[in-house]
Amino acid sequence: MSVKDLVVQYINNEKLVHAVDHVSFSCKENESVGIAGESGCGKSTFGLAILRSLQKNAMVSGQIIFNDMPILDMTDSEFSEKIRWKQISMIFQGAMNSLDPVFTIKKQFEEILKKHNFNGDHQKAISEIISSVGLSDSILAKYPHEISGGMKQRVIIAMALILKPKMVIADEPTTALDVLVQAQIMVLLKKLKKDGLSIVIISHDLGILSEIVEKIGIMYAGQIVEFGNLADVYNNPQHPYTIALLDSIPKIDESVQKTPLKGNPPSLIDPPSGCRFYDRCPHAMEKCKKDPPKIETSSGFVMCWLYS
């Protein structure tokens, strides 16, 4: 998949919100890409835009090419028929809490199959996918309140995979789970990836991302300010925000107290022109008041005047 100049804007309380601003990146088949950043930076909006699941008043422009298909140019019905859930699906943030309490797990799988006009054997498809996420058929007769958080998250992952998509977008797939369950879910995602799934993981947790992705994009105030191979970005970060973000992760062998990044990201309602990290950047210069250039790095790009 390649995303080029993706822009998402919507009106909130009569104000224009610039949620995603000219985002570009690519993800090859069977590759994993992480999108990292603080909450409110536009990560989730970005994921929803790929699946064309944004609120109705969202204005989207740019290009998303998936398997040679320009998916933003498709009609809604064409997208639903060919792409949504069948080629690209999504593990929505907090979805495990939105399982319907009045229906059994089985019934909720059946609803998805019906909604997407699945013609094959429902029971077989459900059993297969349930076992691929490490659950047994006995869970199907249960109601959501009868199973643990970790099991619910596996159910959500199974639901996203039931139509055998090539790519899944996972929005904070381990957030709100306790540490042991987080680790189990990561093991599961890695296994699915090994079996051929491409995964875009959206997370504020750089530790989680480092376990699974090959490439990573660092998002700040609606923009991807740095993108590249995981090892390059982690070992040799270029953008001052990436450096600050990595620096804020406590390391076991360090006794020095970390100094968290001061200040807050700019509002997406009326973001400043020029570099959006300007107010918080220790290297800010006069020219940073103009939009920073996109500079090629060894495996991706960085948007910053320091390198021009």
306 binds ligand SF4 (CB under 6 A): yes
Q: Which residue is nearest to Mg ion (CB)?
A: 44
Region from 118-126, 158-166, 262-270, 282-290 binding ligand SF4, contact rule CB under 6 A:
282-290
How near is the Cβ of 41 to Mg ion at its closest, in Å?
8
Pairing of strands 223-229, 301-303: antiparallel
**CA distance linking residue 220 with residue 271, whole number of Å:** 11
Nearer to ligand SF4, 32 or 242 (CB): 242
306, interface contact from ligand SF4, Mg ion, none, CB < 5-8 Å by kind: ligand SF4
Name the minimum Å distance from CB 291 to ligand SF4.
Answer: 9
Residue found by looking up tokens 């933003």 in the block: 72
CB 199 within 8 A of CB 189: yes
Write down the least CB distance from residue 223 to ligand SF4, Å.
Answer: 11
Instruction: Give yes or no for residue 281 binding ligand SF4 (CB under 6 A).
Output: yes
Q: Which is nearer to Mg ion, 125 or 185 (CB)?
A: 185
Of positions 114, 115, 258, 283, contacts ligand SF4 by CB under 6 A: 283
| CB closer to ligand SF4 out of 228 and 240 | 240
Residue 12 to residue 269: CA distance in whole angstroms: 9
Output the 3-class SS for 19-85: EEEEEEEECCCCCEEEEECCCCCCHHHHHHHHCCCCCCCCEEEEEEEECCEECCCCCHHHHHHHCEC
8 A C-beta contact, residue 46 and residue 62: no
Q: Which of residues 286-305 bind ligand SF4 (CB under 6 A)?
A: 288, 292, 304-305
Q: Return the one option of ligand SF4, Mg ion, none that residue 44 interacts with (CB less than 5 to 8 A, by type).
A: Mg ion
Take residue 230 and report the two structure tokens written for it: 């995981």
Choose the one of ligand SF4, Mg ion, none that binds residue 160, judging by a C-beta under 5 to 8 angstroms depending on kind.
none
* Binds ligand SF4 (CB under 6 A): choice among 74, 181, 284, 295: 284
Question: Residue 40 pairs with which residues in a beta bridge?
Answer: none
Which helix (H) or strand (E) segment is 220 a member of? strand 215-220
The whole-angstrom separation of Cα 86 and Cα 79 is 10
Q: Which residues inside 238-277 make contact with ligand SF4, applying CB under 6 A? A: 239-240, 275, 277
Using CB under 6 A as the criterion, which residues of the chain lie in contact with ligand SF4 when the complex forms?
A: 239-240, 275, 277-278, 281, 283-285, 288, 292, 304-306
